[in-house]
């Protein structure tokens, strides 16, 4: 008979894998996993908990380049780290171990967001209804499902030297991603059919956040805007879609998207459900203030939808300075939503407008924002070029804050490229500026960076 280590007091384990990896035990975050492979082992066992897994198979998946004995040894050490992170009682409760196999104990007191998300999606697929976009029960299930989806599966977990594990993650990640998009599409259709256009726009916008090139999301957002009487915003959304497809794929929108655009231009899209009046609809300044209010409240989806309207109305006004600022703010919102591809498109739009009107401070701000996104996307050469341009403008304008901020960014880039002397020089220059203007918080941060470079450990 196989033996299992099942002893101790029952504990409640919460596993959150949609988005960044997070584990809590009785409400306390578990952080000391030691290595990414320790986290990977727990994630794999929990997500593939239908069966016990042979130890050689687990070792081969996580250490494919090691000899069998070395891989088995590494697995034993990783299991010890996992037990240490969870604690003796919890590891005995949730980890079923025999000399030949490892498994996650599904009978334990635990919650796994992926299981909850998938169960709600599958319940809608099994439910008998005349149409999904008319089913209130399924709408409620899907609303909770999309709330659970904080980001792509295991977004911060990457095991570069383990191709088998990465292939498994990619398959599971793509499945959850598709289910999320389908859920958002169903919720968009449900709320559109009910004349709840603001909520429809929120779900359509989230589709685009996940896939900026997804024409279904752009069409749904265009349609909701048009039905709500926001014709300018609908037309602006088509223009955003067109630019993204051209940049990413050198392609034009599909015939279906183009036909919807033509109908909206012709005023042929009308609502059977009049939208609730909104006092700020004709006041673009009030809309801009509302977007900032949503940001302050942490409601980024509504901030995004509102700022799209600001961009549309600024576009119709012909005020290039105000339009550039609107694009810049929308890009900032998208960065906070981690939609960096679409954010970059708006920063570039702002930069182009500011270059047309010669707005030097605005050009520096757009270059700085654009460079930060490029750095996040791994294009450090382009990021460096934009930061250097921004620095030259700031020096010419005599703006110490921008100079210090950009120097700090350049130092961070040099640090990542292992250009230690150059990084130190940038940080030192930034520290001198912050010292001169009395920014104590920035001074402490820069001093810590410089001290870290001196520490041989």
CA 288 to CA 330: how far, in whole Å?
Answer: 10
Beta carbons within 8 Å of 305's beta carbon, 6+ residues apart: 198, 201, 202, 205
Asked if 50 and 104 touch (Cβ cutoff 8 Å), the reply is no
What integer pLDDT is reported at residue 274 of this predicted model? Answer: 57
Alpha-carbon torsion angle 194, 200, 203, 204, nearest 10: 130
What is residue 272's three-state secondary structure? coil
CA 237 to CA 240: how far, in whole Å?
Answer: 5
Q: Which residues of the chain have pLDDT under 50?
A: 1-9, 276-282, 453-457
CA 333 to CA 32: how far, in whole Å?
Answer: 33
What integer pLDDT is reported at residue 318 of this predicted model? Answer: 80
CA 15 to CA 22: how far, in whole Å?
Answer: 6
3-state secondary structure 202-226: HHHHHHHHHCCCCHHHHHHHHHHHH
DSSP for residue 399? -
| pLDDT tens-digit map of 433-450 | 878 777 776 677 667 766
Residues forming a β-bridge with 111? 14
DSSP for residue 35? S
CA 21 to CA 153: how far, in whole Å?
Answer: 8
DSSP letters along 102-168, please? EEE-TTSSEEEHHHHHHHHHHHHHHS--S-GGG-HHHHHHHHHHHHH--SSBTTT---TT-HHHHHH
Beta carbons within 8 Å of 229's beta carbon, 6+ residues apart: 271, 275, 281
CA distances 329 to 202, 230, 233, 288, 323, Å, are 18, 20, 16, 9, 10
Residues forming a β-bridge with 15? 23, 112
CA–centroid distance for 312 within its chain: 24
Please give the helix or strand (H or E) that residue 390 lies within, else none: helix 380-397
Q: Which of 185, 192, 235, 190 is nearest to 211 (CA)?
A: 185
What integer pLDDT is reported at residue 229 of this predicted model? Answer: 85
Asked if 414 and 422 touch (Cβ cutoff 8 Å), the reply is yes
What integer pLDDT is reported at residue 181 of this predicted model? Answer: 96
Residue recorded with tokens 């110490």: 400
Domains and CATH numbers, the chain: 1-175 (1.10.10.10), 195-266 (1.25.40.10)
Structure tokens at 250: 């050198």
What integer pLDDT is reported at residue 236 of this predicted model? Answer: 85
Beta carbons within 8 Å of 255's beta carbon, 6+ residues apart: none
In this structure, which long-range contacts are made by residues 74-82, counting pairs with CB atoms below 8 Å and at least 24 apart in sequence?
74/37, 75/41, 78/35, 78/37, 78/38, 78/41, 79/41, 81/33, 81/34, 81/35, 81/38, 82/33, 82/38, 82/41, 82/42
What integer pLDDT is reported at residue 276 of this predicted model? Answer: 46
Structure tokens at 139: 């709408």
Q: What are phi and psi of 54, to 5 degrees?
A: -60, 135
| pLDDT tens-digit map of 229-256 | 888 888 888 988 998 898 888 999 999 9
| pLDDT tens-digit map of 345-371 | 999 999 999 999 988 889 999 999 999
What integer pLDDT is reported at residue 438 of this predicted model? Answer: 74
């Amino acid at each position: 008979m196989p033996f299992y280590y099942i002893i101790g007091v029952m504990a409640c384990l919460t596993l959150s894998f949609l988005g960044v990896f997070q584990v809590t035990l009785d409400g306390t975050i578990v952080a000391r996993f030691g290595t990414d492979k320790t986290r990977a082992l727990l994630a794999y066992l929990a997500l593939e908990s239908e069966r016990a897994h042979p130890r050689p198979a687990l070792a081969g998946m996580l250490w494919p380049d090691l000899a069998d004995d070395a891989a088995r040894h590494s697995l034993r050490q990783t299991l010890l780290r996992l037990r240490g992170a969870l604690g003796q009682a919890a590891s005995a409760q949730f980890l079923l171990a025999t000399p030949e196999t490892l498994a996650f104990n599904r009978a334990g007191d635990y919650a796994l967001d992926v299981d909850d998300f998938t169960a709600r999606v599958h319940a809608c697929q099994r439910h008998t209804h005349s149409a999904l976009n008319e089913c209130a029960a399924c709408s409620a299930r899907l609303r909770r499902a999309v709330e659970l989806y904080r980001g792509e599966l295991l977004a911060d977990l990457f095991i570069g030297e383990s191709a088998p594990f990465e292939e498994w993650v990619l398959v599971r990640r793509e499945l959850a991603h598709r289910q999320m998009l389908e859920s958002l599409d169903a919720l968009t259709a449900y709320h559109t059919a009910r004349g709840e256009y603001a909520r429809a726009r929120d779900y359509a916008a989230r589709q685009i956040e996940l896939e900026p090139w997804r024409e279904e999301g752009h069409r749904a957002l265009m349609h909701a805007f048009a039905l709500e009487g926001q014709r300018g915003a609908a037309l602006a959304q088509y223009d955003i879609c067109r630019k993204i497809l051209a940049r990413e794929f050198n392609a034009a929108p599909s015939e279906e998207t183009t036909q919807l655009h033509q109908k909206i231009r012709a005023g042929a899209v009308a609502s059977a459900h009049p939208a609730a009046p909104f006092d700020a609809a004709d006041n673009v300044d009030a809309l801009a203030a509302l977007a900032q209010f949503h940001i302050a409240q942490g409601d980024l989806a509504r901030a995004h939808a509102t700022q799209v309207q600001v961009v549309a109305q600024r576009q119709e006004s012909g005020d290039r300075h105000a339009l550039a600022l609107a694009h810049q703010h929308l890009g900032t919102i998208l960065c906070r939503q981690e939609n960096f591809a679409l954010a970059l498109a708006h920063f570039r739009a702002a930069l182009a407008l500011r270059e047309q009107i010669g707005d030097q401070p605005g050009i520096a701000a757009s270059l700085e924002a654009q460079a930060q996104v490029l750095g996040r996307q791994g294009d450090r050469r382009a990021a460096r070029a934009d930061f250097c341009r921004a620095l030259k403008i700031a020096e010419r304008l005599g703006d110490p804050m921008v100079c210090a901020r950009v120097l700090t960014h350049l130092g961070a880039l040099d640090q990542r490229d292992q250009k230690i002397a150059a990084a130190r020089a940038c940080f030192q220059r930034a520290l001198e500026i912050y010292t001169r203007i009395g920014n104590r918080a920035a001074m402490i941060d820069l001093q810590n960076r410089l001290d870290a470079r001196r520490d041989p450990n």
